[in-house]
Structure 1
Amino acid sequence: GINVAIGDWSIQGVNGRDQLSARMVDYTMHLSLIGLKPPTLHNGNGLINFGVGGFSYYYSRTRMALTGTLTDHNQQLQVTGEAWMDHQWGNFLSFGNGGWDWFSVQLNNNTEMMLYFIRDAAGKVNAAYIGYIGADGQERLVSPAALRTNILNHWTSRVTGATYPSGWQIEINDSHVQTLLTLTPEVQNQELVVYQSTGNAYWEGAVTIHGQSAGTQVQGEGYVELTGYSR
């Protein structure tokens, strides 16, 4: 389980049932999450290849029911939704001037995907991972050879000058998975400038998704993290 608090921010939970609370000036959050699927140990045993960075332990709860309240200037809002929880740790090393593109995908047919690409300093992909979590909660690994991605747009930060991909088409065609998805950032500017904590700037934010999976129209939500573009 977990029981961590920093000031008015706290996380408590065990066995896929979590409580999140946070408080700051004019805003509060109290959320309850319940896992709807078993945890996914990525790569079967929870150990993944991080390319030039080494290896990392990694598991996810890819679909959790969420209920709770948000308070905005004394106005309390009841909220519901579906969440995704990641836990990643290890002794992986610095990526130098490289980085990664990471995607989480939740579709309305009760399936999910987690995929990432590790880039070296020259921008060459030297490790990739594609995991498809079926409605049964089992992860099926997809060969990178079955994946095609197209960057649909770019966005340049006025703060750091970094240019990030902004919109993607993801196509997977293998024996387990046949999908064609378009991912669009909900807001283009989701850059985090955090030089005082992690010492860098990167793009991390929400995307909306639509497309086809197994010949059926689907839609969904996702999250994308892009590192190594700001130097």
Structure 2
Amino acid sequence: MTLTRRTLLAALAATPLTARAQGFAGLGTEAEGFALPSRDTRLAFPADHGPHPAFRIEWWYLTATLEGPDGTPYGVQWTLFRSALAPEAQGREAKGWGSPQVWMAHAALTTPEAHHSTERRARGGTGQAGVTATPFSAWIDDWQVTSTAATGDALDALRLTASAPDFAYDLALTATGPLVLHGAEGYSVKSPGGQASHYYSQPFYDLTGTVTLPDRAIPVTGKAWLDREWSSQPLAENQDGWDWISLSFSSGARLMGFALRSTDGTAFTSATWIEPDGTATAYPDGALTLTPLTEATPPTRWRVELPDRGVNVEIEALNPRAFMEVSFPYWEGPVSITGSHDGRGYLEMTGYD
């Protein structure tokens, strides 16, 4: 339990793990030659839906909470990571095996009884994996997230597909709200020292489609959330893991939050409160509290508090065994929400022994 989606790319792009001692999976090391996020940058769409090869790490990350006809809950994850062995200028990506880009993808399907996960990898420049902003498409082999939007933003409507020997899904996503920028206009601070990323989400998807288990195909409906993030040095050298949540409340409001844990026992927190109409309020370090409610490692029950919004809830994993059995294992799965607010969401945990 030492790596996850936000570190896989650095692991692929760096020298052997034993050579990287600074920060969680080397993400606290100096990003020599790579671009760094800037407070002066203003995100622009559709361009920023596409890749940013001057930065070291990047991901397109989808989670969904689903329900079958009999009320059984499910969870889906689809993530495409880009990592750079060396920086490239925007719009001047090398072709073929000369490309310094490395791609990895994860797909998962969670049920109350089981958690299915798999991964794929590719080298950039070969056509096996990549992302285009216009028209929007993200793919690795036959796994795809493709825009089906006729008008508006390219992410307003998507088709999501993935398959593995023991599961598959084919889902249609329709956004009912706007894109949301985290932090200061998409500049998301990650540490007291100022490490940061560019970070935005589309948290307002309604979803329909089919998930396939080894014994049957199941029609489902639900909600989905897309995260987009890129950086080159997002962590401080003493940050060794994090706990991340995306919560969708029955009121229509949403909450994104994370706690980045340091080796001295402290944690740096950040949160975004999202109104049903998409109005977003960013909260600085200390406003959000995440408290484990079990001694299990990693803890799959948490108290989440954001007093400024009256949030005092308990989240609990649908399946406590939702470990991603991939090259770099981590925990990620759907959660239920009870307390001051109710609903469903997703939890990710990294850096636990």
TM superposition score normalised by structure 1: 0.82
> Deviation per CA, 1:185-213, whole angstroms, max 9, x where unpaired?
1121222343x3xxx4322111110111x
C-alpha contact (below 8 Å) 2:270/2:286 kept by paired residues = no
From 226, 232, 235, the counterpart of 1:85: 226
Which amino acid in 1 is paired with 2:203?
Answer: T
Relative to 1, partners in 2 of residues 1:78 and 1:110: Cα closer, same or farther, differing over 3 Å? Answer: same
Match for residue 32 of structure 1?
Answer: 172
Query: Measured at CA, do residues 40 and 187 of structure 1 come closer, stay the same or move farther in structure 2, by a change above 3 Å?
Result: same
AA aligned opposite 2:175: G
Aligned CA distance change for structure 1 residues 102 and 28 (closer, same or farther; 3 Å): closer
The alignment status of 1:226 with 2:343, answered yes or no, reads no
What displacement does 1:42 show? 0.5
Equivalent residues, number? 211
Q: How many angstroms does 1:123 deviate by?
A: 2.9
Contact 1:154 1:166 in 2 (8 A): no
Higher relative contact order (CA 8 A, sep 6+): 2
| Separation in structure 1 between the aligned mates of residue 238 and residue 210 of structure 2, nearest angstrom | 41
2:241 is the counterpart of 1:99: yes
Is 2:181 aligned against 1:41? yes
Contact 2:257 2:288 in 1 (8 A): no
Q: Aligned-pair distance for 1:36?
A: 1.2
Q: Which residue of the partner structure matches residue 329 of structure 2?
A: 201
Note the alpha carbon deviations across 1:126-176, whole angstroms, 9 max, x for none: x31111001121111234444444321032xxxxxxx212211122222xx
Deviations 1:68-111 (A, max 9, x none): 12233574322111111111111125656611111111100000
SS in 2 for 1:15: helix
Instruction: Give structure 2 stretches of 5+ with no counterpart.
Output: 1-132, 148-153
Amino acid corresponding to residue 58 of structure 1 in structure 2: Y
Q: Which has the higher helix share?
A: 2
Conservation of the 8 A alpha-carbon contact between 2:270 and 2:288:
no
Question: Which of 6, 20, 45 is the aligned partner of 2:160?
Answer: 20
CA distance in 2, matches of 1:48, 1:86: 13
Instruction: Name the structure 2 match of 1:4.
Output: 138
AA of the residue aligned to 2:202: R
Amino acid at match of 2:186: G
Rate the CA distance shift 1:10–1:90 in 2: closer, same or farther, 3 A. same
Q: Distance in 2 between matches of 1:120 and 1:43?
A: 20
1:182 & 1:85 partners in 2: Cα distance? Answer: 23
Give yes or no for contact 2:270–2:287 (8 Å, CA) kept in 1.
no
Q: Does 1:192 align with 2:324?
A: yes
The range that moved more, 56-65 or 87-96, is: 87-96
Tell me if 1:168 matches 2:306. Answer: no
Distance 1:143 1:109 in 2: 24
Higher deviation after alignment, 108-117 or 69-78:
69-78
1:31-83 Cα deviation digits (max 9, x unpaired): 11011110101114111112268211111111201011223357432211111
Distance 1:17 1:54, change over 3 A: same
Structure 1 residue 4 displacement after superposition = 2.6
Q: Greater share of strand residues, 1 or 2? A: 1
Q: Retained in 2: the 8 A contact 1:53–1:92?
A: no
1:207 partner amino acid: V
Which letter does structure 2 place at the counterpart of 1:19? R
User: What is the rounded CA distance, in whole Å, between the counterparts of 1:91 and 1:180 in structure 2?
Assistant: 34
**SS of aligned partner of 1:164:** coil
Task: Please say if residues 269 and 286 of structure 2, whose CA atoms lie closer than 8 Å, have aligned partners that are also in contact.
Answer: no
Match of 1:178 among 310, 315, 331: 310
Structure 2: which amino acid aligns with 1:110?
Answer: G
- Asked if residue 210 in structure 1 is aligned to residue 309 in structure 2, the reply is no
Higher alpha-carbon deviation: 14-23 or 46-55: 46-55
Query: How much has 1:179 moved relative to structure 2?
Result: 1.5
**What's the offset of the Cα at 1:16?**
2.0
Q: CA deviation at 1:6?
A: 2.0
Equivalent positions of 1:52-201 (< 5 A) are: 54-73=195-214, 75-93=216-234, 98-125=240-267, 127-155=268-296, 163-174=297-308, 177-194=309-326, 196=327, 200-201=328-329
